[in-house]
Homo-oligomer: A and B are copies of this chain.
Amino acid sequence: MSEFKRSGERAADALRPVRITRNFTIHAEGSVLIEFGNTRVLCTASVEEKVPPHKRGSGEGWVTAEYGMLPRATHTRGDREAARGKQSGRTQEIQRLIGRSLRAVFDLKKLGERTITLDCDVLQADGGTRTAAITGAFVAAHDAVSKLMISGKLAATPVVGHVAAVSVGIVEGTPLLDLEYIEDVNCDTDMNVVMTGLGHYVEVQGTAEGAAFTRQEMDQLLRLAEKGISELVALQMKALNE
């Protein structure tokens, strides 16, 4: 159905090869290296027995995220945000998105007064870092929760469903699933979709980079995203069962 030719003869509705490596580092309660093709994001889940001020005394926990990109994860070196002294608007937007997405599948009451922080650090970027981060962070968070249950700190899981994310876009008129960098740069419309394992929407963020897009195009993109996310959820399950 597509006329735009993707790298590696990838079909318009195909994900890039996805790899999920659990226990990638040793200290974190959950540590996952997730790869969407050449995009590689290290997602760690850290459990701390305290909550931010707005949750103190509430009996509820908190799930939050931070996002970063190593300076040379990209084609040309970017500024180190720690050296520049502040996080960019893009970084803040992404880490807020990751946090909201994860909280959508957490019952904070069941988590108790503790915080899970998802650190998503991009080691190598080739498009889709935020969607890979969400998809990998879920697995890291799941591992952290498993440790809490094994250690007896939690009796019941606060995880109420899967969450995964993928980007879709229209490049030269062709709707594509899981954009890599070269496609992302050239797309007219770019959409990041976050869905639960049940196929419901957590976030939809569509942006016209060039011309505004029609309702029909949006429908095409949503269908592609739904297909991709159901595959990602299956891959999460497989990884968690290993």
Residues of A within 8 A of B (CB): 25-28, 31, 38, 40, 42, 44, 46, 48, 66, 68, 70-77, 80-83, 85-87, 89-93, 95-96, 100, 104, 117, 119, 121, 123-125, 161, 191, 195-196, 198, 200-208, 211-215, 218, 222
Inter-chain CA distance A214–B200, complex, in Å, is: 5
* Beta-carbon contact of B80 and A123 below 8 Å: no
Residues of B within 8 A of A27 (CB): 72-75, 124-125
Residues of B within 8 A of A214 (CB): 200-201
Interface centre among A26, A80, A82, A86, by most chain B C-beta atoms within 10 angstroms, is A82
Across the interface, A42 reaches (CB within 8 A) one of B104, B123, B196, namely: B123
* Beta-carbon contact of B206 and A211 below 8 Å: no
Q: In the A-B complex, list the 7 residue pairs whose CB atoms are closest, starting with the nearest.
A: A200-B212, A89-B92, A81-B82, A44-B72, A46-B77, A204-B206, A82-B82
Inter-chain CA distance A89–B202, complex, in Å, is: 20
* Beta-carbon contact of A25 and B73 below 8 Å: yes
A185 to chain B, nearest CB (A): 14
A104 to chain B, nearest CB (A): 6
* Beta-carbon contact of A26 and B119 below 8 Å: no
Residues of B within 8 A of A203 (CB): 205-208
* Beta-carbon contact of A46 and B71 below 8 Å: yes
Residues of B within 8 A of A71 (CB): 44, 46, 66, 117, 119
Across the interface, A82 reaches (CB within 8 A) one of B25, B38, B68, namely: B68
A132 to chain B, nearest CB (A): 15
Inter-chain CA distance A83–B55, complex, in Å, is: 21
Inter-chain CA distance A71–B81, complex, in Å, is: 14
Inter-chain CA distance A215–B201, complex, in Å, is: 7
Residues of B within 8 A of A196 (CB): 212
Inter-chain CA distance A74–B200, complex, in Å, is: 33
Residues of B within 8 A of A46 (CB): 71-72, 76-77
Residues of B within 8 A of A207 (CB): 100, 202-203
* Beta-carbon contact of B77 and A87 below 8 Å: no
* Beta-carbon contact of A121 and B213 below 8 Å: no
A235 to chain B, nearest CB (A): 20
Known A-B contacts A38-B26, A72-B31, A124-B26; A91 and B80 likewise in contact (beta carbons under 8 Å): no
